[in-house]
Amino acid sequence: MKFGVIGTGMVGQAIGGKLVRLGHQVLMGARQAGNAKATAWAAAAGPAVGQGTFADAASFGEIVVNATAGAASLEALAAAGAANLAGKVLIDIANPIDPASGRPPTLRVCNTDSLGEQIQHAFRDARVVKTLNTINDGIMVEPSLLPGGHTVFVCGNDPDAKAQVVELLQSFGWPATDILDLGDITAARGTEMYLALWLRLWGATGTGNLNVKVVTAT
Amino acid sequence: MKFGVIGTGMVGQAIGGKLVRLGHQVLMGARQAGNAKATAWAAAAGPAVGQGTFADAASFGEIVVNATAGAASLEALAAAGAANLAGKVLIDIANPIDPASGRPPTLRVCNTDSLGEQIQHAFRDARVVKTLNTINDGIMVEPSLLPGGHTVFVCGNDPDAKAQVVELLQSFGWPATDILDLGDITAARGTEMYLALWLRLWGATGTGNLNVKVVTAT
């Protein structure tokens, strides 16, 4: 399949690289075509990848991945173009960290709203699925790096879009039993607000190579 | 030991009951002495327990447990009295759910502050330890109800107070390896904001008998 990856950072490169290894075609989009990171990454990643603008990536992809910093996501997706996103699965991996916040970082939106909801609201014809924002870039695409089972969350308003994302996550190596559907896009409040705990878990355990496993009574 | 439990709800009764079974003395405090729930519970729980006002409970306890609803915690602790809390370990289990919020519930404080911090700030001489707020009342005091290991968080500014709480949690049945110290009381932002995810986990799994296990690379 063809994927457009919006964003050239570690998450975009991790997702893009995994997609290429799985045999997909990827176009990585940046604010401007010829972005140094995107160009270097595309050259290293081989002939199945290209680079261009946010709009090029959104236009190219049958599925589009928002891998920008959360504070820049709405602007980047606006540049990508609502028409280029219409009808498509839009996988949102971003966390709305306020870049002006100190330590610990705070969120720009939370509690009564979320970035996932803001994106769905701004791009009504895209089928937004929030996932993977609670997991670092290495584990996202190689869940077996952590021992035993651990959980990845998905949420969104469109059941078919979620089903496509669940299938994609399984191709990344996530067992079906470890993929938990939290419901509609308002659940993004939960997975985004969890970032505050996630950062503390990193501090307490000394590694960002961490995740949580949801455990219930049997 | 002597424990004062501030609050007569399910959490207060679960914690109070466990403490009695472990051989401690408990005084359950309510807004007014003679509270029906506290009186009935104390009568059923046996001679090691009593009931009284918030101030009676705080005065009685060598360790005090805040098991009130989060929106009422600061007022209840003010009634308990700063002098009665001074120097004592104050275990805060509350979540700052806004009772005026609909579904999903929202928090009264989050992101840049937390209830745990507000309590520590308001009662400077108490040694606040936040714990157990992310786990329902049954699992709190009987962690083996869930299969395998799963994690309970503690945070607070006073290392000795945290050590006492860790010891207490172990007496509740929490293995030392499943008790994770997240640092100072500002980590309460993380464990309180996690409530938004926890409620979604409940919805998705169909049970509140749930917890998460933190998994790291070995």
pLDDT digits (tens, 9 = 90+) for A53-99: 999 999 999 999 999 999 999 999 999 999 999 999 999 999 999 99
Distance of residue B33 Cα from the nearest chain A Cα, in angstroms? 36
Q: Read off the pLDDT of residues A21-62 as tens digits, 9 standing for 90 and up.
A: 999 999 999 999 999 999 999 999 888 899 999 999 999 999
Burial A167-196 (b: 16+ CB within 10 A, else e): ebbeebebeeebbbbbbbbbbbbbbbbbbb
Contact B69, B97 (CB under 8 A): yes
Which residues of chain B are within 8 Å of residue A155 when distances are taken between CB atoms? 200
Query: Looking at residue B104, what is its pLDDT?
Result: 87
Give the separation between CA A111 and CA A115, rounded to whole angstroms.
11
Q: Read off the pLDDT of residues B124-153 as tens digits, 9 standing for 90 and up.
A: 999 999 999 999 999 999 999 999 999 999
Which residues of chain A are within 8 Å of residue B106 when distances are taken between CB atoms? 111-112
The set of residues, in sequence order, having a beta carbon less than 8 Å from that of A83 and lying 6+ positions away, is: none
Nearest to residue A106, comparing CAs of A95, A117, A116, A115? Answer: A95
Asked if B218's CB is within 8 angstroms of A196's CB, the reply is: no
Strand-pairing partners, residue B127, are: B89
Give the range among A15-19, B48-52, B176-180, B202-206 with minimum mean pLDDT. Answer: B48-52
ipTM (interface pTM):
0.96
Q: Which two tokens stand for residue A37?
A: 């990171």
Query: Looking at residue A46, what is its pLDDT?
Result: 86
Distance of residue A207 Cα from the nearest chain B Cα, in angstroms? 7
Which residues of chain B are within 8 Å of residue A189 when distances are taken between CB atoms? 104, 196
Contact B114, B156 (CB under 8 A): no
Asked if B203's CB is within 8 angstroms of A182's CB, the reply is: yes
Q: Read off the pLDDT of residues A116-153 as tens digits, 9 standing for 90 and up.
A: 999 999 999 999 999 999 999 999 999 999 999 999 99
Q: What is the mean pLDDT of residues B157-177?
A: 98
Asked if A200's CB is within 8 angstroms of B181's CB, the reply is: no
Which residues of chain B are within 8 Å of residue A103 when distances are taken between CB atoms? none
The set of residues, in sequence order, having a beta carbon less than 8 Å from that of A47 and lying 6+ positions away, is: none
Closest Cβ–Cβ partner in A106, A199, A214 for B201: A214
Which residues of chain B are within 8 Å of residue A148 when distances are taken between CB atoms? 215
Asked if A110's CB is within 8 angstroms of B111's CB, the reply is: yes
Give the separation between CA A116 and CA A193, rounded to whole angstroms.
12
Query: Looking at residue B45, what is its pLDDT?
Result: 87
Q: Give me the DSSP letters along A57-77.
A: HHHH-SEEEE-S-HHHHHHHH
Distances (CA, A) of A197 to A88, B8, B134: 32, 28, 11
Among chain A residues, CA nearest to B98: A111
Q: What is the mean pLDDT of residues A139-168?
A: 97
Query: Looking at residue B129, what is its pLDDT?
Result: 99
- Is the torsion defined by CA of B43, B44, B47, B51 positive or negative? negative
Contact B217, A207 (CB under 8 A): yes
Using beta carbons and an 8 Å cutoff, which residues of B are at the interface with A?
Answer: 104, 106-107, 110-112, 145-148, 150-151, 153, 155, 180-183, 186-187, 189-191, 193-194, 196-201, 203-205, 207, 209-218
Interface test with B, best of A97, A136, A191, A213 (most B CBs within 10 A): A213
Interface test with A, best of B103, B107, B111 (most A CBs within 10 A): B111
Query: Looking at residue B94, what is its pLDDT?
Result: 98
| A199 pLDDT higher than 90 | yes
Asked if A215's CB is within 8 angstroms of B196's CB, the reply is: no
Query: Looking at residue B102, what is its pLDDT?
Result: 86
Which residues of chain B are within 8 Å of residue A153 when distances are taken between CB atoms? 197
